[in-house]
Amino acid sequence: MAWHRAAVKGRLEALDTLWSCAKKTELNTAELLLSENYKGFTALHIAAGENNVEMLKQFWVWAEEEQLKRNDVMKKLLLAKNKQGHTVWQYAAGGGK
């Protein structure tokens, strides 16, 4: 998915463009934030693993902007596990740079 590819490459501008397109076409932005690549990683996992603080901050801004503060969505975003069972927090602490 282009969303994950942009995160892997650290392309915040590309993510911003994809986010804008998703909003304009009325896609479910919560699903976009929670989407996983083939390894079960969310874009947040990727940003955490790459220690991309600016990207992490932007994901949080988008979540707040879209009023995704509901506990169910925020918990899923922050506690999502990849296929190895690691959360964003574990990936940032153990596998991040």
**So where are the chain's domains?**
2-95
SS (H, E, C) 29-72: HHHHHHCCCCCCCCHHHHHHHCCCHHHHHHHHHHHHHCCCCCHH
Q: What is the pTM of this model?
A: 0.74
CATH ID of 2-95, from 3.40.640.10, 1.25.40.20, 3.40.50.10680, 3.40.50.460? 1.25.40.20
**Cα–Cα separations (whole angstroms), residue 78 to 11, 24, 26, 66, 85:** 21, 25, 23, 16, 13
Interval 13-38: pLDDT, tens: 999 999 999 999 999 888 888 888 99
Q: Which amino acid is at 79?
A: L
pLDDT band at 62 (very low <50, low <70, confident <90, very high): confident
Question: Which residues are within 8 A (CB) of 42 and not within 5 positions of it... i.e. 6 or more apart?
Answer: 33, 34, 35, 36, 77, 80, 82, 88
